[in-house]
Structures are given as C-alpha cells and as structure tokens.
C-alpha cells in the first residue's frame, strides 16, 4: 500500500511539472540568438551607434531584448567580473590578466573583436574665433600650460575612454591640468560648449558625426567641429570624417571592440555575430564610423564643369 501511495505522489509531481505555462517554460530556457533577454555594458561614447545596432537587431528578431548599460569605460571594464553582463563594448579588448580572471573566476572563455573605429572630435562654440588645433596646442591646453583663455571639457575626468585616450596618446601619461572641466555625459559636453564661448569639448565622433541623424543635426546647430592638424603633413588641417578615420590622417583615432563573455551560444553570440556581418557593419558605416570587417574602398573622382 505504501508503495502505491509513493507512486501516486510521484505521478502528481510529474503532472504539476507538466502544467507550467508557456511563459514559465520560456523563462526557464536559455536565451538564443533569436529570443530572450540579455544585459550588456557599453562605453557611453558609443551610445548613438550601439543604440542603432540594437534597434536593427531587435527588429530582425522581435523576440529578443538587449538591455544596454551605458557607463564610463572604466566602469564597463569592471563588468568583466559581473556574470550577468554577457558583453562589454569598449575601446579596448581584455588583457591577458583579465582573460585569466574570467576563465578562473567567472568560468567563461571570453572572445573579442574590433568591429569599427571612430575618432575623438574637438568641438567649439559657434562664436569661437579659432577652430584650428595642433596636437601640441591640445597638449598644452589639457595639461594647463596654455596661455589661452580656453576651457577644455570632457565627459568626466578620470574613468572615460576619451580621457584615457588623451592621457595615453596625447599627454603621454602626464596629468590633466586643473583647468579641465568634467561634464556628466557627452550630451552635457555639447551643452556646455554651446553655452560657453571659450570652451573646447572632446567627445566621441559617434555623437556628432552622423549627418543623417536629426538629433545630431540639432547638436551641430549648437556647436561646430574643429580642424586638427593632419598626421600626413604639417600645416594641413582636417575635420573629423569617415575617410580620415580610414587613412588615420586624423590624429585621434581609436577602436570599438566587443568583449564577449557568454557561456552558451545564445543571444550575446548572435548580437556579436551581427556586429561583424554585413548588416551590422553597414550600420557602423551609415553612422559615419569606419567598419573594419566590411571591405572599404577609396576611389578617385574627378569633377567636371559643364
């Protein structure tokens, strides 16, 4: 009798287990490339273009949801240790030490890939008298050694990718001067420069480079991009543009790298794959960044007057 009762209870357990709703079953399933929800971390410098990449991907796969947490780059890199973050998008890939940490502590074998390049744009107030800068002039301005009455402003002063690039590649490890101002975000950099005639802003090209974006067109009515001396020849100045990212004639070019840290082949893998295939690369191109996986060509053109 006891044996029959035991079998009866087992049967009830199996019956109740089979009564789960479709929503419950779906929630318990791991995400796939075409369904599910994931969280990723992204450098705030790239928000406009990554927003567009996510928008296109979710339109292709309506059952997916990619929640992006935009932060200063240093905060993003801390997410190598956060299990719930499946991808980190920044201006650099993980180091060997960070890879070993993720394998040993997070128990995931990460991968990384550079999928695009952008540049650090210099913006000035529309009423600014001068919009031509050499790297030496920028260096003096950022280090506090300039005699000019100019106020440099960043999207923060310590943890952002823009600050890190300028410290490493322009100041060569020297500290920022006390004159440098910190804005909470790239939008705030634009706002500060638009209201301050002697301000000089530094931010990712993703915020001011897309001539087809109505929001960015409104930004460019408030500020203007400055010219920076070309790496090709002294005395020749170039404005931020896609072609000068490709040729690196513009001196402040940097990478856009994804760091994938997903254990199973799910939605994060799907989104990573999308970023380096034709569709994802075209989104970078339309945003006036430089895709690095999609082939790029320079063609000679000749203008003829009638």
- The pLDDT score that the predictor gives to residue 44 is 95
Q: What are 260's strand-pairing partners?
A: 87, 111
Confidence band for 5, pLDDT divided at 50, 70 and 90: very low
- The pLDDT score that the predictor gives to residue 13 is 42
Q: What is the DSSP string of 128-188?
A: -S--EE-HHHHHHHHHT---S--EEEES-SSSSHHHHHIIIIISTTPPPPTT-EE-SSHHH
**Residues whose CB is less than 8 angstroms from the CB of residue 254 and which lie 6 or more positions away in sequence, other chains included:** 91, 117, 118, 119, 120, 161, 165
pTM, two decimal places: 0.86
Tokens of 98: 């960070």
Q: Which DSSP state fits 279?
A: H
Half-sphere exposure at residue 36, Cβ-oriented, CA atoms within 13 angstroms: 20
End-to-end CA distance of the chain: 103
Residue 267 φ then ψ, to 5°: -65, -40
Biggest alpha carbon–alpha carbon distance for the chain: 103
Tokens of 10: 């087992």
Per-residue pLDDT reduced to its tens digit, 29-55 = 589 999 999 999 999 999 999 999 999
Instruction: Work out the average pLDDT over 287-295.
Output: 89
Could you give the domains of the chain? 30-117+255-291 (3.40.190.10), 118-253 (3.40.190.10)
**Residues whose CB is less than 8 angstroms from the CB of residue 251 and which lie 6 or more positions away in sequence, other chains included:** 135, 228, 229, 230, 231
Cα-based distances in Å from 252 to 125, 203, 255: 20, 11, 10
Per-residue pLDDT reduced to its tens digit, 214-270 = 999 999 899 999 999 999 988 999 999 999 999 999 999 999 999 999 999 999 999
Cα–Cα distance measured from residue 145 to residue 236, given in angstroms and rounded to the nearest whole number:
24
Cα–Cα distance measured from residue 261 to residue 39, given in angstroms and rounded to the nearest whole number:
11
């Amino acid at each position: 009798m006891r044996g029959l009762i035991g079998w009866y209870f087992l049967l009830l357990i199996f019956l109740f287990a089979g009564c789960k709703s479709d929503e419950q079953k779906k929630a318990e399933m791991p995400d796939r490339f075409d369904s599910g929800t994931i969280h990723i971390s992204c450098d705030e410098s790239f928000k406009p273009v990554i927003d567009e990449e996510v928008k296109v991907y979710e339109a292709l796969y309506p059952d997916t949801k990619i929640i992006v947490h935009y932060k200063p780059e240093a905060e993003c890199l801390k997410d190598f240790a956060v299990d719930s973050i499946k991808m980190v998008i920044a201006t650099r890939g993980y180091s060997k030490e960070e890879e070993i940490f993720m394998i040993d502590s997070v128990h995931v074998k990460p991968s990384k890939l550079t999928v695009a390049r952008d540049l650090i744009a210099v913006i000035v107030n529309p009423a600014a008298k001068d919009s031509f800068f050499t790297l030496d002039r920028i260096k003096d301005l950022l280090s506090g050694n300039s005699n000019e009455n100019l106020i440099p402003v960043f999207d923060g002063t310590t943890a952002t990718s823009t600050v890190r690039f300028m410290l490493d590649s322009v100041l060569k490890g020297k500290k920022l001067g006390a004159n440098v101002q910190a804005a909470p975000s790239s939008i705030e950099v634009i706002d500060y420069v638009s209201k301050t005639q002697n301000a000089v802003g530094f931010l990712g090209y993703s915020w001011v480079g897309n001539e087809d974006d109505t929001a960015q067109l409104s930004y460019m009515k408030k500020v203007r991009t400055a010219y920076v001396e070309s790496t090709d020849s002294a005395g020749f100045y170039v404005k931020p543009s896609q072609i000068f990212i490709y040729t690196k004639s513009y001196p402040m070019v940097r990478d856009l790298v994804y760091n994938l840290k997903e254990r199973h082949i799910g939605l994060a893998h799907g989104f990573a794959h999308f970023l380096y295939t034709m569709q994802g690369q075209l989104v970078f191109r339309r945003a006036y960044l430089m895709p690095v996986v999609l082939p790029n060509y320079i063609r000679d053109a000749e203008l003829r007057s009638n």
